[in-house]
Amino acid sequence: MKPPPLDPEVSDTAPDAAFLTPYDEEHLITYLRLLDAQNDGAVWEEVARIVLHIDPEEEPARAHTAWTTHLARAHWMAKSGYKHLLRGGPPN
C-alpha cells in the first residue's frame, strides 16, 4: 500500500462496503482527522469546512451528508476495517 495523501478530495458520500476500498486507503488520514475532531468536540460544520473542504453555509445538505457518511466510515475503519489493512488491503 502506498502512503495515503494528506488532504485528498472527498466524495459526497463515503463507501459503505463491508471491505476496504481504494477510496478508504486514500482517505485514511481524512478518517483519522474526523475521529480526532469528534474526540475534541468540534462542531460538524467546522469539520466539514476544514477536513472535507465543503462549505456548510453554501451546501448544507451536501456538507452534512459528507460529514455523516465519512464519520461513519471512520468508525467502521476503527472497529473492523483496519483488519483489512492488516491483511493487505482491498480484495483483488
- Residue-wise pLDDT for 26-83, tens only, equals 999 999 999 999 999 999 999 999 999 999 999 999 999 999 999 999 999 999 988 8
pLDDT of residue 89: 52
Task: Provide the pLDDT confidence category of residue 84 given band limits of 50, 70 and 90.
Answer: confident
| 9 Cβ neighbours under 8 A, 6+ residues apart | 53
**Contact 90/21 with Cβ under 8 angstroms?**
yes
Cell numbers representing residue 7 in the block: 488532504
Cα–Cα distance, 44 to 77 (Å, whole number): 19
Residue 72 is predicted with a pLDDT of: 98
Query: Cα separations (Å) of 65 from 36, 46, 56?
Result: 19, 14, 10
Q: What is the pLDDT of residue 77?
A: 94
pLDDT for 92 equals: 52
